[in-house]
Amino acid sequence: MITTTPQNREAVLEAAIERENSHERRLKSRDVTLAIATPLVLLAAWEIAAATGFIDPRLFSPPSAIAVRGAEMVASGELFGHVFATVARLATGLVIGAVAGILAGLVMGVWRPVRAAFEPMFTALYALPKIAILPLLLLIFGLTETPKILAVVISVFFVVQINTLSGIIQIDGRITEAARAYKATGWRLFRYVLLPAALPAIMTGLRVSAGMAVIVITAVEFVASNNGLGYLIWNSWQLFQPSTMFVGLITVSIIGALITGAIILLERAMLPWKHSNQPRKKAKTQ
């Protein structure tokens, strides 16, 4: 009969933890490999298809031609001018819309009369396509930067507001009761209970709204701008310059990925408990 001792149990536990962590590391390595290899394989297939005539290179410029055109636009500074215009509008609208959406969601979540007054109207306005508001904004503000930024602000505001409100409403009532029992009221209740509990929903709203903001600003620049990546894409299509059009499309996708990545990093910094080492936790609880 084998006698188990605290030392043996500790050794078994450590071995289980190591196996779980090793398995997780292998899965992460596989995921990184797939994430890098998949676009490279698709680009290679695209290049081969264009070289062999399987697709028309006049319509679908091969990656090599797109890279050459992109390098030319970078060297001339043309691409940077369009990127700066789009990023400036996008960043301004994203920040204003996010701040306004968070504040509105928090206020509506805390004060029921405010929620009752504005929630039906916000629900109706959320269903309205945001790009459809552009003609009204142009009518009011003219062909200036204001309607382009406001289109982004409006699209971001509703997504963030809805997620923030949802995060506040879903807080367990027992948590707030316990906080009040420990004299947490007013600002202390908001700062240490309501806001941290709603943060996961707020960050989800920011991630969703960031992608929507990229779509909206690109569409706005199609029709109401003489610079920016949306203008570059639309103008190159009209002039039948597919390689330039693909440069614009790729640049937009890169900007969207960078913004989403920045929000993910912000989420990891603000919600460290959500991204802790899960395998190790599971092993410890067994």
pLDDT in tens, 234-245: 999 988 899 999
Query: How sure is the predictor about 196, in pLDDT bands with cuts at 50, 70 and 90?
Result: confident
Measured distance CA(125)–CA(71) in Å, rounded? 43
- The per-residue pLDDT for range 225-269, each reduced to its tens digit, is 888 999 999 999 988 899 999 999 999 999 999 999 999 888 888
Query: In terms of domains, do 8 and 89 share one?
Result: no
Query: In terms of domains, do 187 and 207 share one?
Result: yes
Query: In terms of domains, do 11 and 98 share one?
Result: no
Query: In terms of domains, do 246 and 264 share one?
Result: yes
Query: In terms of domains, do 160 and 270 share one?
Result: yes
Query: In terms of domains, do 243 and 223 share one?
Result: yes
- Report yes or no on whether pTM surpasses 0.95: no
Query: In terms of domains, do 37 and 97 share one?
Result: no
**Domain-located, residue 132:** yes
Query: In terms of domains, do 48 and 189 share one?
Result: no
Measured distance CA(13)–CA(68) in Å, rounded? 56
CA dihedral 162, 167, 169, 170 (to 10 degrees): 130
Query: In terms of domains, do 14 and 141 share one?
Result: no
Structural domain ending residue among the three candidates 25, 60, 95: 60
Number of domains in the chain: 2
**Domain-located, residue 284:** no
- Domain with residue 207: its CATH number is 1.10.3720.10
User: Which domain covers residue 84, as residue numbers?
Assistant: 63-277
Query: In terms of domains, do 225 and 161 share one?
Result: yes
Mean pLDDT of the chain: 84
Query: In terms of domains, do 172 and 197 share one?
Result: yes
Residue 272 and residue 226 in contact, taking contact as beta carbons nearer than 8 Å: no
Measured distance CA(81)–CA(164) in Å, rounded? 35
**Domain-located, residue 283:** no
Query: How sure is the predictor about 284, in pLDDT bands with cuts at 50, 70 and 90?
Result: very low
Query: In terms of domains, do 67 and 52 share one?
Result: no
Residue 283: the pLDDT is 41
